[in-house]
A and B are shown apart, each in its own frame.
Chain A
Amino acid sequence: MLQQYAGIGVFFLVAAIFPIIAIGAAWLVRPKKPSRVKLDTYECGLETQGPTWVQFKVGYFLYALVFLIFDIETVFLYPWAVQFQVLPLFAFVEMFIFIGILAVGLWYAWKEGALEWK
């Protein structure tokens, strides 16, 4: 049984060694001419403004979370919509219960001010 895993073991070994060889070879043959511009922090081609170690506003994460909920809703809604014609009435009711629960969540987020940018 262990032999079945030999392939995975070899794969792990190759995966570990390959990047070392590739990066090592590049390090050996590449020209080394550092300049100030080359060593700058990369920020989409623009010059960086101020220090980069800043705290992000918690509002970003709140937005991301609220967005994620509705992202996942789509994942469930899509197959339901595709199969809608053949599904029984029960599936219809069930989906509305699901959306109802999400709506309560959105109502809560709205009321608590998660959607306002302060």
Chain B
Amino acid sequence: MNQLQMDFNLLTVEILMATLGLVVLVLGLLIPKNQSRGIAYFTTIGLVAILLYSVTMQWTKAEFLNGMYLIDPFSTLFKQIFLLTAILVSVGSYQFMEKYGHNQAEYYSLMVFATLGMMVMASAGDLITLYIGLELMTISLCVLTCFRLRDAKSSEAGIKYIILGAMSSAIMLYGLSLVYGMTRTTVIAEIAAAIALDGVSPLLLLGLVFLVAGFAFKISAVPFHIWAPDIYEGAPTPVTAFLAVASKAAGFAAMMRVLLIALPDLFVHWNVMIVGLTVLTVVLANLVAIPQTNIKRLLAFSGVGQAGYLLLGIVAFTQLGVGAVLFHTLFYVFANVAAFMVVIAFYNETGSDEIRDYTGLAVRSPLLAAVLLFSMLSMAGIPPLAGFVSKFYLFTAVIDQGYVWLALISVLMSMVSVYYYLIVAKVMYIGKPADDAKPIKVSSGLQIALILCLVMIFAFGIYPAPFTDLAMNVANTFFTP
């Protein structure tokens, strides 16, 4: 038997994350509950430090435990995406947690552990490791979802998330076990080799169906999206932002690794399913978003739609496709978290998530209105914002593979999305604020985060070269073993 490869230096980022999570938890035990404000700042600083450290591992490509855990540019970029989201969400949580929260240490510690779970998912080179990462993420997020005690909606969302999360995990686990049964291995690289040798069997296809369904749950693709709007609406808003961005990105990271690396020989089979999911997701999500009156539900459906666009990159099954998914995910972090931070700031002041209460936001807080407007326009894909560039790459990737009709549907539905995004813009800019409406105060930390997001949305759109180069170079290393 080969000697096990155990170079723990490769795991520094994960070890640091686990340490940070535990230290935050212990700090919460030591510091009296009414003085726990510092824990929030400590978490943000810790996450920023880990993000900076992860840059030193940007191009490291190595295996841990003989291929069961992979450190490659692909997983590192995804880890940075999770860290970025966690940083922005932790900044967005300060005021919210102080006003509505309790046990701050647990909140931030669970957030760190959920991020760690996502990192394990992105790096997993083994189906069981992948599943452990998935569960660490899901269970942490379950607790975060029902973090508002005595709030019926939050509890309801938590219970729904537990039940649906358990169900989707069971479906995925069944798929994983069938794949293991047919290939006699759980290591992703060996699965591809085993399938190349043994050929495709009916049971393996059944496993594939379960796997795709399980992943579709995690990325909330139609028709497996039913959980998303309810849970997004009920969860505390910072948690919603985290769910909508990071957990979806983690689902995509794992899905790409399994479909593109472990099961490339089943391409003809999973391609049909993914194309079907893409069409359903892009069409349905954008149409259902139109009549929404709650901003969180609107953003939930727009997020479901974004998952549909991301699926295009998987349909293409090329380096360009993978690169486009990476680029779109990176931009999506800034756009979506920015939109949710505006929702958080608005809720802190007014206690409302209804779109009609956003009337005249441009007068009450020009910054909030501008950030929400530009992040939404960017998600709709209006040039010169980031969303235009990333959608351009995604559509090019599928057109290269001959799916002109698929790109056409996506472009059409992008136009539909402009409509419901502009409804919100109209309410904010044209509507007159109520007479008793006060200006909305935004804390300086949140202001900095909002402006950073705004700058990034423009930077990605006007000068995308450095970011596309990064995404494409990472995609180049993805397919080479």
Interface residues of A (CB under 8 A from B): 1-2, 101, 104, 107-108, 111
**Residue from B25, B201, B202 in contact with A104 in the complex, judged by beta carbons closer than 8 Å:** B25
Q: Add 8 more A-B contacts to A2-B202, A104-B22, A104-B25 (CB < 8 A).
A: A1-B201, A101-B22, A104-B26, A107-B26, A107-B29, A108-B25, A108-B29, A111-B29
Give Cα A108–Cα B29 distance, bound, in whole angstroms.
Answer: 7
Interface of B, helix, strand, loop or mixed by DSSP: helix
Would you give the shortest CB distance from B345 to chain A, in whole angstroms?
Answer: 31
Give Cα A104–Cα B113 distance, bound, in whole angstroms.
Answer: 15
Against A, the Cβ 8 Å flags (1 = close, 0 = not) of B107-128 are 0000000000000000000000
5 contacts between A and B (CB under 8 A): A101-B22, A104-B22, A107-B26, A107-B29, A108-B29
Contacts of A101 in B (CB 8 A): 22
Contacts of B22 in A (CB 8 A): 101, 104
Contacts of B201 in A (CB 8 A): 1
Would you give the shortest CB distance from B20 to chain A, in whole angstroms?
Answer: 13
Give Cα A107–Cα B28 distance, bound, in whole angstroms.
Answer: 11
Give Cα A107–Cα B22 distance, bound, in whole angstroms.
Answer: 12
Closest to B29 in A: A111
Closest to A105 in B: B25
Give Cα A104–Cα B30 distance, bound, in whole angstroms.
Answer: 12
Q: Which of B16-56 contact A (CB under 8 A)?
A: 22, 25-26, 29
Give Cα A70–Cα B26 distance, bound, in whole angstroms.
Answer: 19
Would you give the shortest CB distance from A72 to chain B, in whole angstroms?
Answer: 14
Would you give the shortest CB distance from A92 to chain B, in whole angstroms?
Answer: 15
Would you give the shortest CB distance from A103 to chain B, in whole angstroms?
Answer: 10
Closest to A111 in B: B29
Closest to B105 in A: A108
Would you give the shortest CB distance from B175 to chain A, in whole angstroms?
Answer: 18
Give Cα A117–Cα B25 distance, bound, in whole angstroms.
Answer: 24
Contacts of B29 in A (CB 8 A): 107-108, 111
Q: Which of B168-217 contact A (CB under 8 A)?
A: 201-202
Give Cα A104–Cα B26 distance, bound, in whole angstroms.
Answer: 7
Contacts of B202 in A (CB 8 A): 2
Contacts of A2 in B (CB 8 A): 202
Most B Cβ at <10 Å: residue of A1, A2, A108: A108
Give Cα A1–Cα B203 distance, bound, in whole angstroms.
Answer: 10
Would you give the shortest CB distance from A12 to chain B, in whole angstroms?
Answer: 15
Would you give the shortest CB distance from B116 to chain A, in whole angstroms?
Answer: 13
Closest to A110 in B: B29
Closest to B18 in A: A101
Give Cα A105–Cα B22 distance, bound, in whole angstroms.
Answer: 9
Give Cα A104–Cα B25 distance, bound, in whole angstroms.
Answer: 8
Contacts of A108 in B (CB 8 A): 25, 29
Give Cα A1–Cα B199 distance, bound, in whole angstroms.
Answer: 12
Contacts of B26 in A (CB 8 A): 104, 107
Give Cα A104–Cα B202 distance, bound, in whole angstroms.
Answer: 47
Give Cα A107–Cα B25 distance, bound, in whole angstroms.
Answer: 10
Give Cα A1–Cα B201 distance, bound, in whole angstroms.
Answer: 9
